């Protein structure tokens, strides 16, 4: 039958087209499937099925083989990798070293992630040490794993008070060999470059403690966590003072080599897991748990004796902070402890770390109970309020957060207020953008810690 206006295709031509076209279409679809499978194996989904090999530099209490989970940074990274997706959790293993990160270690094919690393100011290379400059050139940094306060420590009997920037002029400041000058030159200070302070370089933080004790330097620079932890372990806490005014703020990261085939995927996975970790109370609970564990660490003298080779004579343990010292009692000499620690540097060793199992939402950290932690948290809040009063919101938030992580309800309230539009009405804070979600999160934390006024703030946020 002939249909007017239509083009009839003979049956034999339809058969020929089907005979060749259908296999071609099938082959094309098969190729697409193979490409999708290959891409999945080389992206974040593929990373989840492999082992993440971590190189940890011993930096107590941030990373320490003797502390639970290897210290607070490793605990946070492990929990973050356990939440990273898709397809998580990851399996990970840790290799320890007492040496700093070098370009050779960074490019070691047996290493995936290296940590902990303080963020380098790569925009100002003149302030960087050689090792930091190498990291800027060869490494990719994760998002901040932990925010830290860079502080000044001095002898308890020193008259030096860091109340203004000018009060440090003419002083000698000890920095460890790998510490950048950014802390002294950043934010337009130029203290070192303009020779307003004398920089005393020592190989390690322990040597800087010894330099201040020997009056070779007026003060030394360390994160509040590292400095306080080291002095406590040496039994020198009564003889040194952490000056309450922060020198600067910083952040701790993990890094991967730019040449690592999966580097971008590993960093993306870690950042994703870290973001999820911070959405609830788990992050603060991990930080508080490990900071408390660090305060009960044994004295370094005892640790050194355990690690010293059999042929070495046992080092005398320094007097602990628990033993009260009279005003005339001499401070324990840190030089012997320094020598013991140097001779007992741990060899690089591998330790298997099981990925954390999926767990329900962690409870908020319990309120601060011990006197020392509470006094320290209150000092953070006091200094944070002073920073906020001068319009410096970023360091204020960091100080409030540190105190809130320690379980201080009023710190969580203060931090929430820095995100609450209703609390940002003061003239010097009107340019600060509010963040209702963050305000809600920290008000809820404050409420869990027992802040009675948090409920009314939450209701007001909901109404707005």
Confidence of residue 226 (pLDDT cuts 50, 70, 90): very high
Under 8 Å between Cβ of 401 and 147: yes
What's 435's domain CATH number? 1.25.40.10
What phi, psi does 49 have (nearest 5°)? Answer: -90, 0
Average pLDDT, integer, range 215-224: 95
User: 3-state SS string over 161-181?
Assistant: CCCCHHHHCCCEEEEECCCCC
Confidence of residue 431 (pLDDT cuts 50, 70, 90): confident
Higher pLDDT, 391 or 167: 167
Answer yes or no: do 246 and 136 share one domain. yes
> What is the C-alpha separation between 253 and 359, in angstroms, rounded?
25
DSSP secondary structure letters along 99-121: SPP-HHHHT-TT-SEEEEEEPP-
pLDDT for residue 186 is more than 70:
yes
- Least confident among 139-143, 197-201, 327-331: 327-331
Residue range(s) defining the domain that contains residue 59: 48-309+316-353
Higher pLDDT, 11 or 461: 461
Nearest-5° Cα angle at 314, 308 to 318: 105
Res 239: pLDDT: 92
Average pLDDT, integer, range 93-119: 87
Answer yes or no: do 342 and 392 share one domain. no
Average pLDDT, integer, range 1-5: 44
* pLDDT tens-place string over residues 404-425: 888 889 999 999 999 998 888 8
Answer yes or no: do 411 and 327 share one domain. no
pLDDT for residue 152 is more than 70:
yes
Res 217: pLDDT: 97
Average pLDDT, integer, range 367-391: 80
- For 248, the 3-state DSSP assignment is strand
Answer yes or no: do 160 and 281 share one domain. yes
Which range is most confident: 127-131, 155-159, 368-372? Answer: 155-159
Answer yes or no: do 377 and 348 share one domain. no
What's 105's domain CATH number? 3.40.190.10
Res 233: pLDDT: 86
Report residue 74 as tokens.
Answer: 């490793």
- For 452, the 3-state DSSP assignment is coil
pLDDT for residue 86 is more than 50:
yes
Answer yes or no: do 273 and 128 share one domain. yes
> What is the C-alpha separation between 381 and 454, in angstroms, rounded?
17
Res 426: pLDDT: 80
Answer yes or no: do 262 and 384 share one domain. no
* pLDDT tens-place string over residues 71-81: 999 999 999 98
Res 26: pLDDT: 53
Confidence of residue 366 (pLDDT cuts 50, 70, 90): low
Average pLDDT, integer, range 281-288: 84
Confidence of residue 348 (pLDDT cuts 50, 70, 90): very low
User: 3-state SS string over 53-98?
Assistant: EEEEECECCCECCCCHHHCHHHHHHHHHHHHCCCCCCCEEEEEEEC
> What is the C-alpha separation between 17 and 56, in angstroms, rounded?
63
| Last-in-domain residue among 326, 353, 380 | 353
Mean pLDDT of the chain: 77
pTM of the shown model: 0.67
> What is the C-alpha separation between 330 and 408, in angstroms, rounded?
35
Res 399: pLDDT: 83
Average pLDDT, integer, range 39-67: 71
Report residue 37 as tokens.
Answer: 């499978």
Confidence of residue 183 (pLDDT cuts 50, 70, 90): very high
Confidence of residue 309 (pLDDT cuts 50, 70, 90): very low
Answer yes or no: do 380 and 347 share one domain. no
Res 244: pLDDT: 85
Answer yes or no: do 325 and 377 share one domain. no
Residue 329 lies in a domain: yes
Chain Cα centroid distance, residue 7: 73
Nearest-5° Cα angle at 120, 185 to 169: 20
Confidence of residue 331 (pLDDT cuts 50, 70, 90): low
> What is the C-alpha separation between 163 and 247, in angstroms, rounded?
10
pLDDT for residue 236 is more than 80:
yes
Nearest-5° Cα angle at 216, 211 to 221: 55
Domain count, the chain: 2
Res 234: pLDDT: 86
Using the 8-state DSSP alphabet, how is residue 281 labeled?
S
Residue 14 lies in a domain: no
Answer yes or no: do 193 and 101 share one domain. yes
Under 8 Å between Cβ of 452 and 409: no
Res 338: pLDDT: 52
Confidence of residue 197 (pLDDT cuts 50, 70, 90): very high
Res 255: pLDDT: 95
CA distances from 368 to 1, 164, 211, 385, 458 (A): 93, 30, 34, 19, 23
Answer yes or no: do 325 and 419 share one domain. no
pLDDT for residue 206 is more than 80:
yes
């Amino acid at each position: 039958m002939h249909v007017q206006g239509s083009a009839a295709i003979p049956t034999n031509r339809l058969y020929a087209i089907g005979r060749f076209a259908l296999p071609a279409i099938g082959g094309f679809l098969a190729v697409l499937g193979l490409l999708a499978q290959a891409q999945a194996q080389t992206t974040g989904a593929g990373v989840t099925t492999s082992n993440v090999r971590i190189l940890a530099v011993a930096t107590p209490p941030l990373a320490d083989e003797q502390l639970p989970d290897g210290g607070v940074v490793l605990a946070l990274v492990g929990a973050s990798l356990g939440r990273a997706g898709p397809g998580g959790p990851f399996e990970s293993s840790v290799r320890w070293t007492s040496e700093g990160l070098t370009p050779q270690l960074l490019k070691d094919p047996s290493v995936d992630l290296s940590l902990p690393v303080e963020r380098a100011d790569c925009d100002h290379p003149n302030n960087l040490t050689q090792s930091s400059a190498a990291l800027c050139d060869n490494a990719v940094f994760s998002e901040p794993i932990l925010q830290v306060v860079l502080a000044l420590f001095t002898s308890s009997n020193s008259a030096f008070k860091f109340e203004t920037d000018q009060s440090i002029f003419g002083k000698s400041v000890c920095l460890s060999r790998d510490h950048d000058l950014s802390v002294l030159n950043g934010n337009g200070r130029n203290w070192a470059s303009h020779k307003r302070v004398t920089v005393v370089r020592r190989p390690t933080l322990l040597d800087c403690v010894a330099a201040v004790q020997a009056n070779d330097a007026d003060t030394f620079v360390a994160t509040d966590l590292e400095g306080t932890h080291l002095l406590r372990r040496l039994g020198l806490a009564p003889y040194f003072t952490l000056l309450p005014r922060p020198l600067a703020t910083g952040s701790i990261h993990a890094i991967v080599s730019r040449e690592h085939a999966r580097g971008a995927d590993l960093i993306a996975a870690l950042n994703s897991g870290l973001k999820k970790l911070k959405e609830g109370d788990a992050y603060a609970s991990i930080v508080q748990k490990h900071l408390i564990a660090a305060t009960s660490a044994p004295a370094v003298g005892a640790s050194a004796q355990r690690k010293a080779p059999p042929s070495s004579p046992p080092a005398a343990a320094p007097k602990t902070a628990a033993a009260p010292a009279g005003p005339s009692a001499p401070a324990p000499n840190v030089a012997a402890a320094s020598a013991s620690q140097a001779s007992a540097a741990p060899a690089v060793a591998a330790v298997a770390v099981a990925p954390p199992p999926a767990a329900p939402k962690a409870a908020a950290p319990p309120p601060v109970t011990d006197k020392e932690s509470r006094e320290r948290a209150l000092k953070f809040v006091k200094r944070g309020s002073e920073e906020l009063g001068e319009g410096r919101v970023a360091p204020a938030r960091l100080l409030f957060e540190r105190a809130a992580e320690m379980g201080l309800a009023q710190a969580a309230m203060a931090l929430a207020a820095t995100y609450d539009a209703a609390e940002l009405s003061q003239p010097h804070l009107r340019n600060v953008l509010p963040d209702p979600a963050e305000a809600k999160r920290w008000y809820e934390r404050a409420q869990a810690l027992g802040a009675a006024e948090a409920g009314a703030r939450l209701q007001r946020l909901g109404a707005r």
